[in-house]
Amino acid sequence: MAWEAVRAVLQHPRCQNCHPQGDAPLQGDDSRPHGQNVLRGPTGRGMVGMECVTCHGPGNLPASYGEHVPPGIASGWRMPTPEHKLVFANMASAALCAQLKDPAQNGGMDSAALRHHLEDPLVTWGWAPGVGRTPIPTPRESFLGAWETWASQGAPCPVAAP
């Protein structure tokens, strides 16, 4: 089912680490809480003095810097705002699906806006995450194909487990 292919990407560590239940981003393939007590802050860009971009620059560092360095993107590293948390981590499939489609929870995005967002550097980074991080195994074209199939079917969600 197309949704299942989409779900598997959303809940891959490279995606869900910025989409946690709580206010700390996650890190690593085990999605553990981010070190240094980093928190979402009022706009998703971190707390005063601990903004994400203090450490996360405009791109991944060259491989010569080795592992465990902060990754980066040109459009500004950040996580969703407290108003629209867009939780991916530890969500049941049906609830994740419903949340994604609900404009009240996704920041007012319709299907076209959501599809457009998939071209954002925040998202494309997951396929080129830098040295020492597992890229998303689903090829990007397959993910986009699954997304479009799902959307064209009317974005059906699985029935919630009782």
x/- letters, 84..103, toward ligand HEC (CB under 6 A): --x-------------x---
What are the contacts of 50-55 at 24+ separation with CB within 8 A? 52/76, 52/77, 52/78, 52/79, 53/77, 53/78
Cβ proximity to ligand HEC, 43 vs 153, nearer residue: 43
Q: Are 34 and 26 in contact (CB under 8 A)?
A: yes
Q: Are 116 and 148 in contact (CB under 8 A)?
A: no
Smallest distance from ligand HEC to CB 108, Å = 9
Distance CA 162, CA 156 (A): 18
Binding letters toward ligand HEC, positions 19-38, x by CB under 6 A: x-----x-xx-----x-x-x
Measured in Å, how far apart are the chain's first and last C-alpha atoms?
20
Interface residue list for ligand HEC (CB under 6 A)? 9-10, 13-15, 17-19, 25, 27-28, 34, 36, 38, 40, 44, 46, 50, 52, 54-56, 68-71, 77-80, 86, 100, 106, 109, 114, 117, 120, 122-123, 125-126, 133, 136
